Structure 1
Amino acid sequence: MACFLLCSKSQQEIPISDSVENVQKRELLGSSVSGEEDFSSDNSKVALCQNGNRVMVVVDWSVEAKEALEWTLSHAVQKNDTIVLVHVLKSLKLQRESFIGFEFGNKVNYIKAHKLLFSMRSMCLKTKPEVQVEVALLEGKERGPIIVEEAKKHKLSLLVLGQRKRPLLRRLLNRWAKRRSRRRKKKKTCRATAEYCIQNSSCMTIAVRKKSKRIGGYLITTKSHKNFWLLA
């Protein structure tokens, strides 16, 4: 695992005006029904909380990951907060007859992963120069457990992941294949990481996806809210 710390200088804080967006934000982040998840507690305050929070964003090359980072920068961090950018590099299988190819593949993947992380870091510093940025490159087979474990180490206030929208055809096929457990398990792999982190992370965890270009806003999923529409 490689971890790099990068900090930026503080600048003047931009005040947040009360708007429809903030009303929705309070509704989403307020106390949940039946006390399942108290978003207003000291351990789970997000954008409207005090300074000094640590927010982790899981990044990769997908559009959804970039959208999740954009949402975090515009909704979940403010002056003196820290963003931790995490990318999980999938371990390659080593075969006896292809050791040279394995080594070359590993180096290429590491170079690409570092470029991705520093590209996302530049995006953070350009958009929010008043926040601190850390980047961490992890490696393993199962992304979900690795992310949850890393989140514990950083004592986060919030964990943010991108979530993918399944195409209509895939959703119909998924319904048709409900009784076939193997196929159903395959269909869920694209969303398995976000769902695993939401259910198992010790901190507040949010999966984010843009609703659509025409309508705007974001769909937010947490333990107690699924596809909550947040205007942006």
Structure 2
Amino acid sequence: MDFRHNASPRRIMVVADPTQESAGALQYALSKTVSENDELILFHVENPNSWRYTITMFLKRPRGGSATVEGGLGNTEFLEEMKNACKHAKPKVRVRVEKVALMEGKDKASIILDQSKVLGVDVLVIGQRRSLSTVILGYRRPGGSTRGTKPIDTAEYLIDKSSCTCVGVQKKGQNGGYLLNTKTHKNFWLLA
């Protein structure tokens, strides 16, 4: 599925995390979705309660002082690396970074969905990890009770609920291609 076109500029949002899935989604977006006139938004939801954030804060703490956090959202150097990769691959594309802190009572999927609407996103791209348990158990809706419910699959939820085109991307090997999921296409294989 190639979402490029030469008509009016679009806003394409890639959910950016320091994971292989996110890197694969960005690679897909740059090679198959983004055109010169488009704006690419790298969107990151920071979870201040995650163990990665805690370790990062501990490691960034200066001796004898308090911790400093870039923009109040923790270590986000990977976002700069992703932005630089975008500029290298597509020098004419406008790239911007948006960061939002995970808020109490809201989950990542709901925040991404809300912000995609606020930012007027035309195409949403998210890296997807499909484990056997996710395929068998499915996902639960954000905001629901966590007792006795299935864990949320952010990508599946966004594909289902997004008002814009949403693509879940799984990169298959170095040159193996992509396995894509959208509302209308499940497990669509696209060669690299």
Name the aligned partner's letter for residue 76 of structure 1: T
Q: Which residue of 2 aligns with 1:161?
A: 126
User: Do residues 202 (structure 1) and 128 (structure 2) align?
Assistant: no
| Higher relative contact order structure (alpha carbons within 8 Å, sequence separation ≥ 6) | 1
The count of residues paired between Structure 1 and Structure 2 equals 168
Q: Which residue of 2 aligns with 1:110?
A: 73
> In structure 1, the residue corresponding to 2:69 is in which secondary structure?
helix
Q: Distance in 2 between matches of 1:57 and 1:91?
A: 21
Alignment gaps of 5+ in structure 2: 51-57, 138-145
Q: Distance in 1 between matches of 2:8 and 2:32?
A: 14
Structure with greater proportional helix content? 1
Question: Structure 1's 119 and 54: CA in aligned 2 closer, same or farther, altered over 3 A?
Answer: same
Asked if 2 retains the 8 angstrom alpha-carbon contact of 1:161 and 1:207, the reply is yes
Pairing partner for 1:86 from 43, 46, 50: 43
Q: Which residue of 2 aligns with 1:217?
A: 177
> In structure 1, the residue corresponding to 2:158 is in which secondary structure?
helix
Q: Which residue of 2 aligns with 1:8?
A: none
Extract structure 1 runs of 4+ deviating beyond 2 A.
103-111, 181-184
Deviations for 1:42-94, whole angstroms, at most 9, x for unmatched residues? xxxx313514111000010110000000000000011111100000011439x
User: Do residues 142 (structure 1) and 99 (structure 2) align?
Assistant: no
Question: Structure 1's 183 and 151: CA in aligned 2 closer, same or farther, altered over 3 A?
Answer: same
Q: Distance in 2 between matches of 1:171 and 1:154?
A: 29
Question: Structure 1's 171 and 135: CA in aligned 2 closer, same or farther, altered over 3 A?
Answer: closer
Name the aligned partner's letter for residue 66 of structure 1: A
Alpha-carbon shift at residue 209 of structure 1 (Å):
0.5
Asked if 1 retains the 8 angstrom alpha-carbon contact of 2:169 and 2:178, the reply is yes
> In structure 1, the residue corresponding to 2:73 is in which secondary structure?
helix
Asked if 1 retains the 8 angstrom alpha-carbon contact of 2:124 and 2:166, the reply is yes
* Greater Rg by CA: 1
Q: Which residue of 1 aligns with 2:21?
A: 64
Q: Distance in 1 between matches of 2:169 and 2:6?
A: 20
Alignment gaps of 5+ in structure 1: 1-24, 27-45, 94-100, 176-180
Q: Which residue of 1 aligns with 2:53?
A: none
Alpha-carbon shift at residue 157 of structure 1 (Å):
1.4
Q: Distance in 1 between matches of 2:44 and 2:134?
A: 28
TM-score by length of 2: 0.76
| Bigger Cα displacement from structure 2, 119-128 vs 48-57 | 48-57
Deviations for 1:97-152, whole angstroms, at most 9, x for unmatched residues? xxxx8x96783783412x12111100100111010001001011410010011101
